[in-house]
Amino acid sequence: MAKTFLWLEDRKGKASYTFWENFMKQLCPEVIVESKKNNSELVKALRTMKDEENKYIIVFDNSFDNLQVVMEQKRLEKYVSEKENVFQLDIICFEYILLEFTELVEWIYAPKDEFLEKRAEAIKARCKLVEALQSDNTDYKRIREIAKYDKNIEEHNIEQLSAKLLFDLTRNTGFEVSKGVLGECWIKSCCEWKERQEDDICGLDHNRLSVFDKMKRIYDGSSLKLQFPKVGLEVEA
């Protein structure tokens, strides 16, 4: 029986790999997640791949304003088009998936959390960035709220901005996300965070979810709900 593989450019142990591994385990457990270490190795693996029996889903960060990534993306698209059993998810990056998740702020902060005020600029920047990209406006660096939040915006590409913004929104919470760390609250049922203190209260404190429900809500509240059917991935109900 044919198998389905999800190929990632991310190394094992990185936050993005941990997310995809747990996400697929919950929603598409039959899919085999594999790391290709980086985007160049992913492109190379696809170029030399001879398998015509199994199905391959490619997760390649589309950092559209990073020249090196754009060049690799063009090579990747060429090889994808040459193979009938290979499909590519159209996503910007793992961090942006979580940024665009509709319940992000409601999950990570309790209703009267002081972070809502302290991180107001980051919250506004996140809102404006998602609005811009969902309306196909890639000129996000000219948006006032984003430029105010990131003083070095001209030096950053969309993947770097997304990672910085997600970290600033989630740091010092159980949902903290950095390149090397994915907070336990993303991938465990409520409330299994080992480091939780008595005053660590998030937006899910009174509406606790299983890890499956978390992954399903992320799927339903992000662009993954549109992208998965396009590559033939079916999510468990």
Shared domain check, 101 and 132: yes
Q: What is the pLDDT of residue 195?
A: 87
Does residue 223 register a pLDDT over 80? yes
Return the structure tokens found at 110.
């309790």
Domain that holds residue 130: 95-209
Is 233 exposed, middle or buried (CB count within 10 Å of its CB: 0-12, 13-18, 19+)?
Answer: buried
pLDDT of residue 194: 85
Looking at the 3D structure of the chain, how many domains does it have? 2
Q: What is the pTM of this model?
A: 0.96
d(CA 31, CA 21): 10
Task: Fill in the amino acid letter for 32.
Answer: I
Distance between CA atoms of 61 and 59, rounded to whole angstroms? 7
80 and 152, same domain (yes or no): no
**Percent of the chain residues topping a pLDDT of 90:** 93
Task: Tell me if 236 is assigned to some domain.
Answer: no
What pLDDT was estimated at residue 193?
A: 83
Residues 199, 102 share a domain: yes
Read off the CATH number of the domain in which 23 is found: 3.40.50
pLDDT in tens, 132-187: 999 999 999 999 999 999 999 999 999 999 999 999 999 999 999 998 999 999 99
